[in-house]
Each structure stands twice: as structure tokens, then as C-alpha cells.
Amino acid sequence: MIKESRRARQESRGSCDAAAVVAERLAYWSMLAGDQDRRVTSTVPGGPLLAALPQPALVTCVDALLANVFAHTPKTTAFEVRLTPRPQGGAVLEVSETVTPAARAVASFGHPAP
């Protein structure tokens, strides 16, 4: 009952498990990456990583970052996705080409308030 109460409180504030969302979106986009002979490297924590962002908003953000890779790089361009915890809570999401690491996008999400 306590866990359910906490989960309901987090959902009402608009937080989500960034690790689960990023892993799910990577699985989705990996099919297109395979069709285009793109090597995908990812680092996503295995456990929950709460971010102060509703799940639909994070899905939109992740999809936009990954869609840019496909829209603005040649078909065989490899890319990397890294989700890392922020020291103060929340997460940082980085999407970059592996050939030209300077071509990268970064999104940072805060930790939900208790």
C-alpha cells in the first residue's frame, strides 16, 4: 500500500522512470538502425532512474533526439545513447554520432520532488 501510494504521488507530479523509457525507445529505433546498417551503442542503467518529467514528454524528447540522427546523418552512421544519473538527482541523456562525437545532443532531467 505504501509503494502504491508513492507511485501514485510520483505519477501525479509527472515523473517517470527514465531508464525504462529510454530502453523502450531504443528497442523501437533499433529496428530502423539495423535496416540502415547503423551500429548502436547504448549505456542505460538497469534499475529505475526517476526524472521529473511525465512519461509522454520524455518519449517525445527521446524520439526527437533519435529521429534527428536518422534525418541528418548518412544511413551507415553509428551512434551512441547514454543515460546517466545526475549527482543531484534526475538524469542526463546524450545522443551522439560515434564518428564525430562533437555532433551530439544532450537533455537533462531533474529529480522529482519528494
pLDDT tens figures, 48-72: 999 999 999 999 999 999 999 999 8
| Least trusted range by pLDDT, from 1-10, 12-21, 77-86 | 1-10
**Which is higher by pLDDT, 111 or 62?**
62
> Rounded to whole angstroms, how far apart are CA atoms 97 and 79?
4
Taken in order of first residue, the domains within the chain and their CATH numbers are: 2-109 (3.30.565.10)
The pLDDT mean for the chain works out to 84
Where do we find the cell 534526475?
Answer: 90
DSSP 72-85: HS-TT--EEEEEEE
CB atoms under 10 Å from CB of 67, counted, come to 12
Distance CA 39, CA 92 (A): 22
pTM, rounded to two decimals: 0.80
